[in-house]
Amino acid sequence: MKKILIANRGEIAERIIRTCNKLDLETVAVYSSADKDLPYVRQATAAYEIGDPPAAKSYLNQEEILRVAKEENVDAIHPGYGFLSENASFVRKIREQGITFIGPSAEVVEAMGDKITARKTMQEAGVPVVPGSGEIVDVTEAIAYANEITYPIMLKAAAGGGGIGMQRCENDQELEKAFVSSQNRAKAYFGNGAMFVEKFIDDARHIEVQIVGDSHGNVVHLYERDCSIQRRNQKVLEETPSPFLSEKTRHQIGEAALLAAKHVNYTNAGTVEFVMDQEENFYFLEMNTRLQVEHPITEETIGVDLVEWQINVAKGEALPLKQEDIKPSGHSIEHRLYAEDPTSFMPSPGKIEALQFPEIEGVRIDSGYESGSTVSPFYDPMIAKIIVSGASREEAIKRSIDFFTAFSLTGIKHNGPLFTQLLKENNFQQGNYSTSYLAKILVKK
């Protein structure tokens, strides 16, 4: 393997280029006309403009991406996350061209991409699953099932992800109102309007486990990440290890993730997501068949390069570590820095006048922008991931506070002030929070 095309943009494209440079691999970047001046375009060995700013005309344009791949005679394609990273037809087209896809098989991507199929598969594997329905296309059927398992419930898109097409409902009226709008969003984003109803777990934690498998039958987990700090069902801050889990539950949830991965013959990097109640009972939510946004905190505590693992597994190599060799050390927190109003969470696209990251021990910056860059309204408004590590959770929190106190970004609004507030909250410092926590402290403010 000598040349890799990165079918993505911004921060994750830069992240992949960094590892490729370390491995002496050439990189091919693709970009929309809105992204032509972003740093990753300059950093790649070669770069091609593939279309207009709307994702459907550029980063979701499979034929144009494959055209570039063939023109550059690349050996592999890394999809990053989002866009085409969990698109089974894209995986098949790549492999039909004789190009290596850096990810799992199309069959696994397809099976886990449909949330209803994924639930059934995990039940067959013996992994605990949240009570929920099969595919529902009619609101009357949804209401009947919701009354059967009792409110509150979560209405979800069968082909969904990233919180899109997902809504909590407390009664028949809310469900009836939410059904059509959620279904329409699902159709628009995923081309599939199928929905399902799932029991809502009150005061839940969102815990996910990093897994990696190879083509030699080896699968390991790299422990958990706590992703419970969310707004509108989307993650804002993640940390590892979870301050909530007992060692017994940590072992059990890791074993459940391995059970899930082995059942579907998983290869490459992926994540098994769970919802957990206050008694530490956990239930399967979904399997993400790609690299996660929050993978750096696992890298920092385990001491590995997950993109390097992905590339080597795709080349047919065996995993470098066995489960008993994987020992996490210290604590790491990722803060997703967004171009958005820190109170309303409305996006704040525009030109970054000045962006200054203070140099603080234990801080890693994975950024897609620089001073003078323009944050486009067409894509996710994440500017950078601030990954802060320390020997203890207390040290990681202190370094995070020091970072956001000294950090400076002008020209657009950003959610830096939110982290300054959150990190000083007593309940957060004690690790006492759930997926509803962030909404509560914003109301209190």
pLDDT average, residue stretch 378-405:
97
- Contact yes or no for 276/204 (Cβ under 8 A): yes
Domains of the chain: which residue ranges? 3-102, 131-199, 205-444
How many Å apart are CA 216 and CA 51, to the nearest integer? 39
pLDDT the model gives residue 442: 76
Positions marked catalytic: 290
Question: Edge-to-edge strand order for the sheet containing 167-169?
Answer: 167-169, 153-157, 195-199
- Phi, psi dihedrals of residue 244, rounded to the nearest 5°: -95, -30
- Contact yes or no for 164/119 (Cβ under 8 A): no
pLDDT the model gives residue 116: 87
Tens of pLDDT, residue by residue over 111-125, are 999 888 999 999 999
Q: Quick one: DSSP state of residue 340?
A: B
- State which fold the 205-444 domain adopts: D-amino Acid Aminotransferase; Chain A, domain 1 (3.30.470)
Choose among 144, 276, 260: nearest CA to 197.
Answer: 144
pLDDT average, residue stretch 27-48:
98
Please tell me if the domain spanning 3-102 has the same topology as the one spanning 131-199.
Answer: no
How many Å apart are CA 230 and CA 215, to the nearest integer? 35
Query: Model confidence at 294, in pLDDT bands (50, 70, 90)?
Result: very high
- Burial code of 274-295, b = ≥16 C-beta within 10 A, e = fewer? bbbeeebebbbbbbbbbbbbbb
DSSP string, 136-158: B--HHHHHHHHHHH-SSEEEEET
Query: Model confidence at 224, in pLDDT bands (50, 70, 90)?
Result: very high
Around Cβ 331, how many Cβ atoms within 10 Å? 23
CATH code of 131-199, in short, is 3.30.1490.20
How many Å apart are CA 94 and CA 78, to the nearest integer? 11
- Contact yes or no for 284/129 (Cβ under 8 A): yes
Rounded to two decimals, the pTM is: 0.93
- Contact yes or no for 62/93 (Cβ under 8 A): yes
Query: Model confidence at 444, in pLDDT bands (50, 70, 90)?
Result: low
CATH code of 3-102, in short, is 3.40.50.20
pLDDT average, residue stretch 53-82:
97
- Contact yes or no for 90/62 (Cβ under 8 A): yes
Token pair, residue 412, equals: 């657009």
- Phi, psi dihedrals of residue 177, rounded to the nearest 5°: -70, -40
Burial class (CB in 10 A: 0-12, 13-18, 19+), 134: middle
* Mean pLDDT computed over every residue of the chain: 95
Choose among 58, 235, 240, 84: nearest CA to 162.
Answer: 235
- Contact yes or no for 284/127 (Cβ under 8 A): yes
Tens of pLDDT, residue by residue over 226-272, are 999 998 888 999 999 999 999 999 999 999 999 999 999 999 999 99
Query: Model confidence at 445, in pLDDT bands (50, 70, 90)?
Result: low
Query: Model confidence at 342, in pLDDT bands (50, 70, 90)?
Result: confident
- Burial code of 339-378, b = ≥16 C-beta within 10 A, e = fewer? bbbbeebebbbeebeebebeebebbebbbbbeeebbbbeb
